Each structure stands twice: as structure tokens, then as C-alpha cells.
């Protein structure tokens, strides 16, 4: 490549200028924000599927009212009827909102607005679209997505908020915005609730988990159906033992963030492994491959969340802008410390 | 059963035609005295992909038979694979994140997959697809849907990374926050390099502002291409030209293409 090429045109993209003018790689939090944006983007395109433009989408929403208290269920039923009657218009709006959230998080000047909007949107969807993740029903289980995938989007938006109020003492990325104590409490509550759900009576029955995992095989590609069926047969008649083991693992994960760094790392790894197992076997990748899924379900989000809690050796120091142009850089990042 | 509303498919098809038109405009502006200035391979790929995807989305826009498109995109994939291989020397897997050509490799490979794995009744009819609107009464589907899912994830990842870069910082500031004063510096960069100077020398003479990154440089390229004075092509035509040659335009095309491709892959699972 000639120098002319480099300077005149291909230099147009950052990496073309070589080391001096190279693209400034994002930090860990920004990488996690981008992963969150990518998942929102995936959600958006899932929402554009043909199934979502049918009355079946409204009926799916209505199904989340079942088992919930009346005060929760009635608005869900009302919303579901509304969606059924105006499914094309409303679903187009839903999908477009999610697309804008994805693009907004990825575009640095709008990251704050988009993250804030994603929290509001997630809370709305958690109620009207997921029936509060079914946490108030006896059928809640960490294996089928409780406490609701979408509430984890909101949690991630809070933890990945571009603020460095607590950066100086942050032992992991999730603590930078809200502080280590608050971040640890949020982790404890989330994983602790998962441990609790694992021990609900419905999950302790002999065939509870087996039926749940086996039920995910319907409509999946052959290899995934075989995986689910195999896992279901392993769990057959082992519901109580499997629930207890799962609950213990989740409880260990829940307290892991309070342990010394090596142990905390081990529990984060355990969290990633458990979340991956839930995502593959319990959720069949959110049933995306079967069609008709609205999101990748909770497993993928739990993995992303765990990565935000990976302990760092040294808490990142808040560096005062020194180099020329750093103020503009921070403004563009949307990460100026308040 | 009702499918995806036609206006959504029409919108994405129009977006792809716009990408194709913009990329074609960029190719046309790659005049002989500026040959090599633009990414001819990338813009050319965008033109072809835009046309092919519009044809997949809307039946009436289909052009070539599926088999021909498959061959075209297979060749394109091989080319971009070669480019990525060249860029990867000594850089390892990092090239997948910051390579100039890696996203285009994924885009073209996804196109090969889409045309090769299509299992709709209309597939293989020889004159393109029936379109996703269901001209043949049903939505086309893709064989081995897990591949579609993986491609969609990767495309979504590249799209958000592109948006991040578009708005992100360089060691000398933000691409968005480009003050007007950087343009002369970048023009000097272009001119120096065109005159045979090395890039590093040109960068050094341009100063920090000139190393701002692509935007200011490319804006300057539009204004002061070698052999043409700065300010040439003022007015509406000049503005349009600068807009077309702006790297943000190319990045926008890439983002639009990635999002549309992810959309198509998912709705055909």
C-alpha cells in the first residue's frame, strides 16, 4: 500500500494511521456496555420476527399473567389485549425502541440517555411482558429464566452506568458507578434469589427439572433437542437432589463477591459455568433456534453480569486528563466524572 | 399466518439500496487521479450486497439467480479472507477486532450462507428469491439455523463496535468533536503524502490535530485531493462529495448493512 493510499483515503478509518493515531481501545466497562448493546440489537431483530406480528404474540404476553396476583395480572391482560388488537403497530414500535436502545448505547454521546431509557423500558417489559419474571408464581425457576431476563438488562444498565464516582476503590467493573458495597448487595440479592427459586416446591419434585429441560427440546434443531433430552433423562427422578445442588452452587456464587480475591474469582467462574449450563440446557439459547423467542433469556445476561464482577488486581485509578484532547475524548465517551 | 409487514421489509430494502447507491457514488468519486484513495473492494462489496439484500427482502427487486450471487459472494469472501490474513501477520487474533477487513469478511460469508442455506420453496427457482414478504406464501427459512444465530451475534457485535468507533475517542480527541481547524492540518497530511512524503512525516507536520483520526483526514481528502486545490467543489456539489467521501458515511453503510443482515438472518431462522 502506498503512502498516498494511507494518507489520503484509507487513513480515513482510525486503524489506518498506525500506532500514533490509532483507535483508542475501550476499557472493560465500555466493552461490557457494547456487549449489552449487541444483545439489545439481537432482541430488536428477534422482535421483528413474523411470529411477533401475529395474535400469538399477544397471547404469549397474556400467558405471563397466569399465576400472578390480580394486581399484577390485570394490567398484563389489558396490555395483551391491546397488543392483540394493534399488533402490527405496537410490535413495530417495540422492535424499533429496542433497536434505538442498542444503537444509543453503542453511540457514545447517547450512552447515558440510552442506558436510562433501557432501565425504564426493561422495567415495563418485566411487568407487562414477563409477568415480573414469574417470581410471584410457584413456577419460578432459575432454569427457566427467573427472575426474568429483562430485569438483568436493567441491572446491567445501572452497574455499567458511565460514572466513576467510586472508581478509585472499585474492586471490579460493576462497582465503578454504584460503589463496591451496593454492587455486592445487588449481586447477593440476585444470586440469592436464584438459589431460593431453585428450592421452590415445583422445582423440588422428582420430575420438576427434568420436565423443564426436556420441554425445551420441542422445535429445536436435532443436536440441541438431543442435548436437552439427554440432560432431561439424567435429571429424571433426581429433582430434589438436583435442586439442592443447584441451590448450593447459586448460594456459593451469591456470597462469592464477599470472599478474598482468589475465591471471588473462583465463584465468578462458577457463576459463568452455571449460567452457561442454564442457557444451553435449561433455556436452549433462549429458544431462539426454534423461532418465536423475544430475547436470548437470562443465561447470556448472567454471564455478562458475572464478567462485570471479575475482580481486578488493582482498582483503577481515576487519572486526571493530561494529554491534549483528553477532555474532548471524555466528552465523547460520555464518561466525565460528575 | 401473517408474516412481517411489507413496509418493514420495504424499509430495509430501501436502506440497502441507499447503501448501494452511496457506495456506488463513492466508487464514482474515486477518480483516476485519486485511484486507490478509497476502499474499492469494500465499496464494491457494499454495492453488490445492497442490491442482493434488497432482492432478498422484496421480490420485485431481485436481480440475479441465487447461484450467481452465491458464487459472487464466495469470491468476495475469499478476497476478504486474504486481506484479513495479510493484516493478521504478527497481530494474532486481535485482527478480528480491529482489522479493517474482518467485518467485511463476516458480511460476505453471511451472504454466502444466506444464499446457500435458503430452504424456501422459491429458492433455486433461478431468478432470485420470492422475497421475504411471502410472494410464494411463506417466509424463506435457513438450513442449520445455529449458523444464522452465530452470524447474527457477530454482526451485531461488529455493528455496535463500529458505532463505538464512530463516536469514540482517539489519543488526541474524539472523531465527532472535530474542530474546523483540523481540516487544514489534515489537508496538509494528504498533500504531503501525495507529494511522496511518508505518512509519519506527514503526520508529524500536521501536528496532533492531523492525527485526529479518520474524519478530519477524510474530510480533507474530499476537499483537497491530490492535484486539486482545497475548496474545490464548493457549494452543494462539494458538500455532497465531502459527505460521500466522509469515512463516517462508509461506517454508517457498514452499520446499516450489519443490522439489516442480522435482521434477515434472524427472521429466516
Q: Would the pTM of this model clear 0.80, i.e. be above it?
A: yes
Could you tell me if residue A245 is left (phi over 0), alpha (psi between -120 and 50 degrees) or otherwise beta?
A: alpha
Shortest CA gap A249–chain B (Å): 29
Chain A contact for B211 (CB, 8 A cutoff): yes
Question: Which of A234, A235, A227 shows the shortest CA–CA distance to A208?
Answer: A235
Over residues B213-217, mean pLDDT: 36
A14 φ, ψ to 5°? -50, -45
For residue A115, list chain B residues with Cβ-Cβ distance below 8 A: none
Q: Do B172 and A324 touch (CB under 8 A)?
A: yes
pLDDT for residue B99: 78
For residue A269, is pLDDT > 70? yes
Q: B209: nearest CA in chain A? A: A325
- The closest alpha carbon to B249, from A12, A11, A216, A53, belongs to A12
Nearest beta carbon to residue A24 from set B146, B170, B221: B170
Compare B30 and B212 and report the one with higher pLDDT: B30
| Cα A295 from Cα B153, distance rounded (Å) | 12
B90-148 pLDDT, tens digit per residue, is 777 777 777 788 999 999 999 999 999 988 654 444 444 456 655 445 678 899 999 99
| Beta bridge mates, A172 | A311
Whether residue B37 lies within 8 A of chain A, CB to CB, comes out as yes
DSSP 3-state of B118: strand
Cα torsion angle, A290, A291, A297, A303, sign: positive
Worst-scoring range by mean pLDDT, B8-17, B44-53, B235-244? Answer: B235-244
Q: What is the pLDDT of residue B181?
A: 38
Minimal CA separation from A237 to chain B, in Å: 31
Q: Which of B173, B185, B190, B196 to substitute to test the interface with A, most A CBs within 10 Å?
A: B173
Closest Cα in chain B, distance from residue A188 (Å): 30
B interface mutation test: which of A5, A13, A41 has the most B CBs within 10 A? A13
Chain B hits for A223, CB-CB cut-off 8 Å, are: 146
Check CB contact under 8 Å for A53 and B173.
no
Query: Exposed, middle or buried by CB within 10 Å (0-12, 13-18, 19+), for A173?
Result: buried
Q: pLDDT tens-digit profile of B179-208?
A: 333 333 334 433 443 444 433 333 333 333
Q: How far is B61 from chain A (nearest CA, A)?
A: 21
Query: From the centroid of its chain, how far is CA A217?
Result: 23
Count of CB pairs separated by less than 8 Å, A with B = 235
Q: Give just the sign of the alpha carbon dihedral A146, A151, A153, A155.
A: negative
Domain residue extents for chain B: 6-148
Region A257-286: what's the mean pLDDT? 96
Residues B184-214 as b or e (16 or more Cβ within 10 Å = b): bbbbbbbbbbbeebebeebbeebebbbbbbb
pLDDT tens track for A289-311: 988 889 999 999 999 999 999 99
**What share of chain A in percent tops pLDDT 70?**
85
**A5·B36 Cβ contact <8 A:** yes
Of residues A105, A291, A331, nearest to B269 (C-beta)? A291
Q: Are A49 and A292 in contact (CB under 8 A)?
A: yes
Which of A4, A30, A35 faces B226 most closely, judged by CB atoms? Answer: A4
With beta carbons less than 8 A apart as the criterion, state whether B40 and B101 touch: no
Question: ipTM of the assembly?
Answer: 0.84
Residue A27 vs residue B198, higher pLDDT: A27
Q: Which residue has the higher pLDDT, A70 or B174?
A: A70
- Range from A7-16, A146-155, A277-286, B70-79 carrying the lowest mean pLDDT: A7-16
B15: cis peptide before it, omega within 30°?
no
B98 touches chain A (CB under 8 A): yes
- Band of the pLDDT at B227, cuts 50, 70, 90? very low
Distance from CA of B215 to the nearest CA of A (A): 6
Would you state the pLDDT for residue B107? 96
Is a pLDDT exceeding 50 seen at residue B72?
yes
Q: pLDDT class for A23, splitting at 50, 70, 90? A: low
Is B256 at the interface with chain A, CB within 8 A? no
Choose from A161-170, A297-306, B164-173, B241-250 the range with maximum mean pLDDT: A297-306
Q: Choose among B223, B221, B228: nearest CA to B239.
A: B223
Residue range B39-63, pLDDT digits in tens: 788 999 999 999 999 999 999 999 9
- Say yes or no for a CB contact (<8 Å) between B156 and A49: no
Q: Do A4 and B194 touch (CB under 8 A)?
A: yes
Across the interface, whether the CB atoms of B169 and A330 are under 8 A apart is answered yes
Mutate to test the interface with A, among B131, B148, B165, B246 (most CBs of A within 10 A): B165
Distance from CA of B178 to the nearest CA of A (A): 9
- At residue A240, φ and ψ (nearest 5 deg) are -65, -50
pLDDT of residue B178 exceeding 60, the answer is: no
Separation of alpha carbons A11 and A17, rounded Å:
5
pLDDT tops 80 at residue B224: no
CA geometry: angle A282, A285, A287, nearest 5 deg: 90
How near does any CA of chain A get to the CA of B242, in Å? Answer: 12
β-bridge partners, B173: B170
Amino acid at each position: 500500500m502506498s503512502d498516498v493510499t494511507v494518507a489520503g483515503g484509507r487513513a480515513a478509518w482510525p486503524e489506518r494511521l498506525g500506532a500514533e493515531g490509532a483507535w483508542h481501545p475501550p476499557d472493560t466497562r465500555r466493552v461490557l456496555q457494547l456487549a449489552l448493546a449487541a444483545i439489545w440489537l439481537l432482541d430488536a431483530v428477534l422482535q421483528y420476527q413474523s411470529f411477533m406480528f401475529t395474535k400469538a404474540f399477544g397471547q404469549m404476553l397474556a400467558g405471563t399473567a397466569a399465576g400472578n396476583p390480580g394486581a399484577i395480572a390485570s394490567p398484563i391482560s389489558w396490555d395483551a389485549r391491546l397488543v392483540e388488537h394493534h399488533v402490527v403497530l405496537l410490535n413495530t414500535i417495540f422492535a424499533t425502541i429496542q433497536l434505538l436502545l442498542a444503537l444509543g448505547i453503542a453511540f457514545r454521546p447517547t450512552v447515558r440517555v440510552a442506558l436510562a431509557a433501557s432501565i425504564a423500558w426493561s422495567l415495563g417489559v418485566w411487568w407487562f411482558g414477563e409477568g415480573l419474571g414469574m417470581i410471584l408464581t410457584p413456577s419460578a425457576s432459575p432454569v427457566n429464566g427467573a427472575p426474568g431476563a429483562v430485569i438483568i438488562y436493567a441491572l446491567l444498565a445501572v452497574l455499567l452506568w458511565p460514572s466513576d464516582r467510586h472508581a478509585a476503590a472499585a474492586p471490579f467493573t460493576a462497582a465503578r458507578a454504584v460503589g463496591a458495597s451496593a454492587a455486592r448487595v445487588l449481586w447477593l440479592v440476585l444470586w440469592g434469589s436464584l438459589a431460593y427459586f431453585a428450592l421452590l416446591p415445583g422445582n423440588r419434585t422428582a420430575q420438576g427439572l427434568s420436565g423443564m429441560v426436556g420441554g425445551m427440546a420441542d422445535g429445536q434443531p436435532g443436536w440441541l433437542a438431543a442435548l436437552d433430552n439427554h440432560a432431561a433423562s439424567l435429571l429424571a427422578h433426581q429433582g430434589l437432589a438436583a435442586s439442592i445442588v443447584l441451590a448450593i452452587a447459586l448460594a456459593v456464587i451469591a456470597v462469592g463477591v464477599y470472599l478474598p480475591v482468589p475465591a471471588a474469582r473462583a465463584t465468578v467462574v462458577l457463576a459463568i459455568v452455571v449460567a452457561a449450563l442454564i442457557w444451553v440446557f435449561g433455556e436452549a439459547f433462549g429458544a431462539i433456534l426454534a423461532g418465536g423467542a423475544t430475547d436470548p433469556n437470562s443465561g447470556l445476561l448472567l454471564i455478562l453480569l458475572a464478567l462485570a464482577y471479575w475482580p481486578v488486581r488493582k482498582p483503577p485509578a481515576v487519572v486526571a486528563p493530561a494529554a491534549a484532547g483528553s477532555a474532548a475524548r471524555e466528552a465523547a465517551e460520555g464518561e466525565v466524572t460528575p | 399466518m401473517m408474516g412481517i409487514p411489507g413496509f418493514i421489509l420495504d424499509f430495509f430494502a430501501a436502506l440497502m439500496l441507499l447503501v448501494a447507491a452511496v457506495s456506488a457514488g463513492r466508487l464514482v468519486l474515486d477518480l483516476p487521479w485519486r485511484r486507490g484513495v478509497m476502499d474499492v473492494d469494500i465499496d464494491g462489496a457494499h454495492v453488490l450486497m445492497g442490491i442482493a439484500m434488497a432482492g432478498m427482502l422484496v421480490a420485485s427487486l431481485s436481480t440475479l439467480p441465487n447461484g450467481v450471487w452465491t458464487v459472487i459472494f464466495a469470491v468476495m469472501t475469499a478476497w476478504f479472507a486474504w486481506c484479513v490474513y495479510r493484516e493478521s501477520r504478527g497481530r494474532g487474533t486481535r485482527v478480528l477486532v480491529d482489522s479493517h477487513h474482518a467485518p467485511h469478511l463476516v458480511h460476505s460469508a453471511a451472504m454466502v450462507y444466506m444464499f446457500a442455506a435458503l430452504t424456501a420453496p422459491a429458492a433455486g427457482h433461478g431468478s432470485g428469491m420470492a422475497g421475504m414478504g411471502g410472494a410464494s406464501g411463506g417466509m424463506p427459512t435457513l438450513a442449520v439455523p445455529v449458523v444464522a444465530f452465530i452470524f447474527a451475534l457477530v454482526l451485531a457485535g461488529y455493528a455496535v463496535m463500529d458505532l463505538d468507533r464512530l463516536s469514540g475517542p482517539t489519543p488526541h480527541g474524539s472523531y465527532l468533536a472535530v474542530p474546523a481547524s483540523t481540516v487544514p492540518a489534515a489537508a496538509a497530511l494528504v498533500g504531503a503524502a501525495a507529494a511522496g512524503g511518508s505518512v509519519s512525516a506527514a503526520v508529524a507536520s500536521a501536528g496532533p490535530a492531523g492525527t485526529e483520526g479518520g474524519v478530519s483526514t477524510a474530510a480533507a481528502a474530499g476537499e483537497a485531493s491530490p492535484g486539486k486545490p482545497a475548496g474545490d467543489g464548493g457549494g452543494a456539489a462539494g458538500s455532497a462529495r465531502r459527505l460521500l467521501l466522509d469515512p463516517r458515511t462508509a461506517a454508517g453503510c457498514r452499520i446499516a448493512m450489519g443490522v439489516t443482515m442480522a435482521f434477515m438472518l434472524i427472521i429466516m431462522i
